Chains A and B, each alone.
Chain A
Amino acid sequence: MTIGRTIRDEFDWPLFISVSTIALFGVLNLYSATDGGTTSDAYVQQLYWLLLGFGVAGLTVAVDYRHFERYGWLIYGACILALILVFVLGRSVRGSTRWIALGGFSLQPSELMKIGLIIALAKYLHHDTKMGGRTLADLIIPGLILALPMGLVLLQPDLGTAMMLAFIFASIMLLTELKLRSLVTLIVTFIVAAPITWFYLLKDYQKERITAFWHRLGGQQADLLDSGWHAHQSLVAIGSGGLSGKGFTQGTQTRFRFLPDQHTDFPFPVWAEEHGFLGALLLIGLYVFVVLWSLRIASQAKDRFGAVVAVGVGAMLFWQTVINLGMVSGLLPVVGMTLPLFSYGGSSLLSTMLGLGLLMNVSMRRFSH
């Protein structure tokens, strides 16, 4: 079987087209969001990143994913090493150290770690032949696979990515069967851990965001400063878009700089303001399609590794999208979370494209033996 035949016959066109459309919308949106501002060439950079991303995805597709299985621990180890390097070489932005400079651009290892975690968990489950329900003891090794990178990411500190790692982990583990007693124990542990997290782990500004969110959800007049201000202006942007939007580059919230971080964390309000409910529906529909498609790919995968990778990548896209949309629409507190494929940012785009390459890989090799 040659690559050429595979591409012709097995290429996953629905996945490619939906992902490309989202990415293209993202570039257009970025153009509008930064039009006339000091970062007005950001969309060009994003195009370069996108080309790089598609290249990386293409390379990922070219190699049979079973090779990733074989070198799973190596990939995981390399990601961990990169996370450790952050503390040695990293540069600090707004009080947290997340980036390392790599030649001309900077890289965010925590983003790559998501893929590393998915591969490591897939490899572990691939070789785990246990039958029937799992107990807590069976969760110790996967738990450690999560705990190591999550601890490192929390130290940066990058609460959003740490949370994403946990969500990916939980989604993957839900594929396997867990004994009821173990599940209950886990839930109780979580309930106990929540106040400890609140009092000992969260920083004041993070607590403030959550408090402000609760007030807003309770319908109180939000404190229109800081995070409350961001969430409020985001809703103003979305809501004022109405059914059909104000038109491309015509969003007033965007143009007059009422949206915070409008090209990174808040690109969706820009989109919703300019293209209205119809535009928002189209964009969300594309995300729904990609996530459901990844589940379909998982269900057709020929082995455990492929299935877990597909679910992991799908979960990564799903949670990131849901948290970002929930945050900008006032359903969730404001946490730093990008909208995959759509937000400006190289590392995030690169890891997403890497994941999608893996997904395509699994999809294309579902019948090969």
Chain B
Amino acid sequence: MITLSQRREVGEFRKRYRWMALFVVLVFGGIIGRIAQVQLFQRDRWSGIAQENITKTLELPATRGIIRDVEGRVVASNRPSYDVYATPRLLRADDLDRIASLMGLDEEQSEALRKRIAELPASRRSQQIELFDDIERDQLAALDTHLAELPGLDIVTVPLRDYPYSALGGHLIGYLNEVNEEDLSSASDPDAYRPGDRIGRNGLEKRYESLLRGSRGFRRVVVDARGRALEGDRPSSLDVQMLQKPVPGHDLQLTLDMRLMEAFDQAFRPHPSGAAVVVDIHTGAIRALYSKPVYDPNEMSSGLSTARYAALTNDPFRPLIDKTIYETYFPGSTFKVVTALAALEDGVVDPMQRVECLGFLKIGRQKFRCSKRHEWVDLYDAIVQSCNVYFWELAEEVGIERINRFARALGFAERTGIGVNSEAKGFLATREWYERHYGAFRIGYTLNTAIGQGNTRVTVLQIAMAYAAIANGGTLYVPQVLQNVKAPDGSLSETFQPRIIRDVGISPEHLEMVRRALVDVVHEEGGTAYRARNEDGVRVGGKTGTAQVVSRRGRAEESTSAWYLDRSHGWFAGFAPAEDAQVAFAVLVEHGGSGGASAAPIATWVMQQYLGEPPPEATE
């Protein structure tokens, strides 16, 4: 059957076979090369993805450290918040409607949810995103019962910050809110924060963020392509850490006494705004740092609406400002002790020498008014009755330089170093400053400085620290709010010792002399705070003051409250108990008028609550 020509043509084909074989070998060689590249050289990368594929990492948030007051009362802790997370890749088309109905969302909210999921880039669809945070109990119950049917969904219990005392001490304690781009990029440990985490924003929460935070852990579960967890079916090739326990943050114990803070809150009820500080005179430990009004850290932590934020910002009593350390005031007559000490210490004055107060002092054509006609007063009477004329006469002798020198020694015009939040420095005007700003120096400036007006600016905390130095015999301490730090296992990791700024360099006799006068301010008839004394109660020494307010008249916010906002601030600063001082205090009632009538009663009442015998019903 086979012809010769056909036979030859088969031979003609034969030329091609070698080329074809070569082609086959080259193509398969290329494929083997590719497989080798993928399996041998890129193995780690693909193995990593394979492991990621079948594991779902659940974050285990760290429990933030608890903050307690000096008596161990909880000031900041955590409560469970139920947050809902979703892995968009695992959500089926109708799952979102299901979630929306279980959550009880309205049309607008569920539309927003759908839009948010739809707009995610493909690269993010395998990562969990937070859908809702801190859901209600009934929402939790509804979702929880249907969780098995929604494999893309997870409910994560996250500890949420809780401040049991609400607003009390809010500035000092601070609050948390969500990290922003800047926090994420500036964190020293790049793994420390993830979008959605919360970070200390103010106060102690911010200052001790790194101690309080702790570090997150995780738990991995094996899942299939639909995201269903497969319990007990761990593949042999999976060699990743499946569990890392979170490390809780450190606990802080404060020097603050929340009972004292509550007492101030009660005493301040008649007044819309003010501030008070109480400090242990032997250590500088702050017992109270009270500012009114104040925001509620619970509210700040759960996210403020724009309207709420605007309300806080526009409130004429400025709840966002910490009036103990960030705001400065004229010290008023509380400053007279500085002038008195300067005069005594440099021997400028004989304390027994009397000066006649006619109710005013005329210098040139200027007439300076005193609160009343005090008749003949010596230094002691002048402090007790707060006679301006005496101090004006004294100021002429002492001079502005000496007053400033002793003021600086007592800590004015420098930051106290409390170390939390922004602290104002205050201001003492010098002769040079007056020359630079007013052209020439005039004696009137010295007179104003001597009685705490003029251009002297102090913080409430500075006044308290200075009075603590007077009360303790001349040692100026750094105010401290932290007593100790405890590690998660309960062991003490740091205890804070008293820190001394300086010995103010004033002789004990002169300090004693001033202290005696301060006690009589309260306890001698005619003393400016006599009506605020605790009869048969805790004896208190202190100085009243009335600080003029820079007029707000003519401002845009002029309203019915303007008359009030023009009233002077009332001061009362001192120490207690009178004969064996433990604490020093400074109380400022904004727009309270005279210090003797507004601030002194608050101070003496609070000191009675704090240091006095417990009321009879409490002992039963």
Residues of A at the B interface (CB closer than 8 Å) are 66, 126, 129, 171, 174-177, 221, 223-225, 233, 235-243, 246-247, 250, 252-253, 255-258, 272, 276-277, 280-281, 284, 287-288, 291-292, 295-296, 298-299, 301-304, 307, 311, 318, 322, 325-326, 329-331, 369
In the bound complex, what is the Cα–Cα distance between A298 and B21 (angstroms)? 12
> What 9 pairs between A and B have smallest CB-CB spacing?
A239-B46, A240-B50, A256-B224, A277-B39, A240-B47, A257-B225, A246-B237, A239-B38, A242-B43
Chain B neighbourhood of A329, CB < 8 A? 31, 34-35, 38
In the bound complex, what is the Cα–Cα distance between A42 and B51 (angstroms)? 27
Tell whether, in the assembled complex, residue A304 and residue B10 are in contact, meaning their CB atoms are under 8 Å apart: yes
Q: A250-B237, A299-B14 are in contact. Are A304 and B6 (CB under 8 A)?
A: yes
Tell whether, in the assembled complex, residue B47 and residue A256 are in contact, meaning their CB atoms are under 8 Å apart: no
In the bound complex, what is the Cα–Cα distance between A291 and B20 (angstroms)? 10
Tell whether, in the assembled complex, residue A272 and residue B53 are in contact, meaning their CB atoms are under 8 Å apart: no
Per-residue CB contact flags for chain B residues 21-42 toward chain A (1 = under 8 Å, else 0) read: 1001101101110111011101
Q: Is B187 an interface residue (CB 8 A)?
A: no
Residues of B at the A interface (CB closer than 8 Å) are 1-2, 5-7, 9-10, 12-14, 16-17, 20-21, 24-25, 27-28, 30-32, 34-36, 38-40, 42-43, 45-47, 49-51, 53-54, 122-123, 125-126, 222-226, 230, 235-238
Chain B neighbourhood of A330, CB < 8 A? 34, 38
Closest to B235 in A: A252
Tell whether, in the assembled complex, residue A307 and residue B13 are in contact, meaning their CB atoms are under 8 Å apart: yes
Chain B neighbourhood of A239, CB < 8 A? 38-39, 42-43, 45-47, 49-50
Tell whether, in the assembled complex, residue B235 and residue A331 are in contact, meaning their CB atoms are under 8 Å apart: no
Between-chain CB contacts (< 8 Å), 18 pairs: A126-B6, A174-B16, A238-B39, A239-B38, A239-B42, A246-B235, A246-B237, A255-B224, A256-B53, A256-B223, A256-B224, A257-B224, A284-B32, A292-B21, A292-B24, A298-B13, A311-B20, A330-B34
Q: A174-B16, A238-B46 are in contact. Are A331 and B34 (CB under 8 A)?
A: yes
Q: Smallest CB–CB gap between B151 and chain A, Å?
A: 13
Tell whether, in the assembled complex, residue B237 and residue A288 are in contact, meaning their CB atoms are under 8 Å apart: no
Chain A neighbourhood of B6, CB < 8 A? 126, 129, 303-304
Tell whether, in the assembled complex, residue A284 and residue B235 are in contact, meaning their CB atoms are under 8 Å apart: no
Chain A neighbourhood of B25, CB < 8 A? 288, 292
In the bound complex, what is the Cα–Cα distance between A236 and B237 (angstroms)? 14
Chain A neighbourhood of B31, CB < 8 A? 284, 322, 325-326, 329, 331
Tell whether, in the assembled complex, residue A236 and residue B40 are in contact, meaning their CB atoms are under 8 Å apart: no
Chain B neighbourhood of A252, CB < 8 A? 50-51, 53-54, 235, 237-238
Closest to B236 in A: A250
In the bound complex, what is the Cα–Cα distance between A251 and B320 (angstroms)? 60
Tell whether, in the assembled complex, residue A253 and residue B53 are in contact, meaning their CB atoms are under 8 Å apart: yes
Tell whether, in the assembled complex, residue B40 and residue A288 are in contact, meaning their CB atoms are under 8 Å apart: no
Chain A neighbourhood of B27, CB < 8 A? 318, 322
Q: Smallest CB–CB gap between A263 and chain B, Å?
A: 15
Q: A242-B40, A250-B235, A329-B34 are in contact. Are A303 and B54 (CB under 8 A)?
A: no
Tell whether, in the assembled complex, residue A247 and residue B5 are in contact, meaning their CB atoms are under 8 Å apart: no
Chain A neighbourhood of B38, CB < 8 A? 235, 238-239, 329-330
Tell whether, in the assembled complex, residue A256 and residue B225 are in contact, meaning their CB atoms are under 8 Å apart: yes
Tell whether, in the assembled complex, residue B2 and residue A175 are in contact, meaning their CB atoms are under 8 Å apart: no
Q: A246-B236, A284-B31 are in contact. Are A177 and B39 (CB under 8 A)?
A: no
Q: Smallest CB–CB gap between B164 and chain A, Å?
A: 47
Most buried by B among A171, A250, A304: A304
Closest to A277 in B: B39
Chain B neighbourhood of A287, CB < 8 A? 28
Tell whether, in the assembled complex, residue B53 and residue A224 are in contact, meaning their CB atoms are under 8 Å apart: no
In the bound complex, what is the Cα–Cα distance between A356 and B35 (angstroms)? 27
Tell whether, in the assembled complex, residue A256 and residue B46 are in contact, meaning their CB atoms are under 8 Å apart: no
Chain A neighbourhood of B24, CB < 8 A? 288, 291-292, 295, 318
Q: Smallest CB–CB gap between A143 and chain B, Å?
A: 20
In the bound complex, what is the Cα–Cα distance between A240 and B49 (angstroms)? 8
Q: Smallest CB–CB gap between A273 and chain B, Å?
A: 8
In the bound complex, what is the Cα–Cα distance between A221 and B5 (angstroms)? 59
Tell whether, in the assembled complex, residue A302 and residue B10 are in contact, meaning their CB atoms are under 8 Å apart: yes
Tell whether, in the assembled complex, residue A307 and residue B10 are in contact, meaning their CB atoms are under 8 Å apart: yes
Closest to A288 in B: B28
In the bound complex, what is the Cα–Cα distance between A331 and B1 (angstroms)? 47
In the bound complex, what is the Cα–Cα distance between A367 and B17 (angstroms)? 19
Tell whether, in the assembled complex, residue B236 and residue A258 are in contact, meaning their CB atoms are under 8 Å apart: no
Q: A129-B5, A235-B38, A258-B53 are in contact. Are A177 and B237 (CB under 8 A)?
A: no
Chain B neighbourhood of A246, CB < 8 A? 235-237
Tell whether, in the assembled complex, residue B28 and residue A236 are in contact, meaning their CB atoms are under 8 Å apart: no
Tell whether, in the assembled complex, residue B32 and residue A281 are in contact, meaning their CB atoms are under 8 Å apart: yes
Chain B neighbourhood of A241, CB < 8 A? 39
Closest to A242 in B: B43
Q: Smallest CB–CB gap between A248 and chain B, Å?
A: 11
Closest to B9 in A: A304
Tell whether, in the assembled complex, residue A256 and residue B21 are in contact, meaning their CB atoms are under 8 Å apart: no
Q: Smallest CB–CB gap between B38 and chain A, Å?
A: 5
Chain B neighbourhood of A288, CB < 8 A? 24-25, 28
Chain A neighbourhood of B13, CB < 8 A? 175-176, 298-299, 304, 307, 311
- Given A240-B237, A284-B28, A303-B10, 11 more A-B residue pairs with CB atoms under 8 Å apart are A174-B20, A175-B16, A224-B126, A239-B38, A246-B237, A256-B222, A272-B35, A292-B21, A299-B14, A303-B7, A311-B20
In the bound complex, what is the Cα–Cα distance between A53 and B228 (angstroms)? 39
Chain A neighbourhood of B49, CB < 8 A? 236, 239-240
Tell whether, in the assembled complex, residue B236 and residue A295 are in contact, meaning their CB atoms are under 8 Å apart: no
Q: A175-B13, A224-B122, A301-B10 are in contact. Are A243 and B40 (CB under 8 A)?
A: yes
Tell whether, in the assembled complex, residue B12 and residue A280 are in contact, meaning their CB atoms are under 8 Å apart: no
Q: Smallest CB–CB gap between B550 and chain A, Å?
A: 61
Chain B neighbourhood of A66, CB < 8 A? 1
Chain A neighbourhood of B225, CB < 8 A? 256-258
Q: A240-B47, A331-B31 are in contact. Are A223 and B122 (CB under 8 A)?
A: yes
Chain B neighbourhood of A237, CB < 8 A? 50
In the bound complex, what is the Cα–Cα distance between A237 and B236 (angstroms)? 15
Chain A neighbourhood of B1, CB < 8 A? 66
Most buried by A among B20, B31, B49, B222: B20
In the bound complex, what is the Cα–Cα distance between A298 and B15 (angstroms)? 12
In the bound complex, what is the Cα–Cα distance between A205 and B454 (angstroms)? 82
In the bound complex, what is the Cα–Cα distance between A178 and B36 (angstroms)? 37
Q: Smallest CB–CB gap between B227 and chain A, Å?
A: 10
Chain B neighbourhood of A301, CB < 8 A? 10
Chain B neighbourhood of A276, CB < 8 A? 39
Partner of A236, one of B5, B46, B126: B46
Chain B neighbourhood of A236, CB < 8 A? 46, 49-50, 53
Tell whether, in the assembled complex, residue A302 and residue B20 are in contact, meaning their CB atoms are under 8 Å apart: no
Chain B neighbourhood of A177, CB < 8 A? 12
Partner of B21, one of A126, A250, A257, A295: A295
Chain B neighbourhood of A225, CB < 8 A? 122
Q: Smallest CB–CB gap between A340 and chain B, Å?
A: 14
Q: A241-B39, A252-B53, A325-B31 are in contact. Are A224 and B10 (CB under 8 A)?
A: no
Q: A221-B123, A257-B225, A288-B28 are in contact. Are A302 and B2 (CB under 8 A)?
A: yes
Tell whether, in the assembled complex, residue A224 and residue B36 are in contact, meaning their CB atoms are under 8 Å apart: no
Q: Smallest CB–CB gap between B32 and chain A, Å?
A: 6
Most buried by A among B9, B38, B47: B38
Q: Smallest CB–CB gap between B616 and chain A, Å?
A: 73
Chain B neighbourhood of A292, CB < 8 A? 21, 24-25
Chain A neighbourhood of B238, CB < 8 A? 252
Q: Smallest CB–CB gap between A23 and chain B, Å?
A: 19
Tell whether, in the assembled complex, residue A295 and residue B47 are in contact, meaning their CB atoms are under 8 Å apart: no
In the bound complex, what is the Cα–Cα distance between A258 and B16 (angstroms)? 43
Chain B neighbourhood of A281, CB < 8 A? 32, 35
Chain B neighbourhood of A242, CB < 8 A? 39-40, 43, 47
In the bound complex, what is the Cα–Cα distance between A66 and B126 (angstroms)? 60
Chain A neighbourhood of B39, CB < 8 A? 238-239, 241-243, 272, 276-277, 280
In the bound complex, what is the Cα–Cα distance between A253 and B51 (angstroms)? 9
Chain A neighbourhood of B223, CB < 8 A? 256
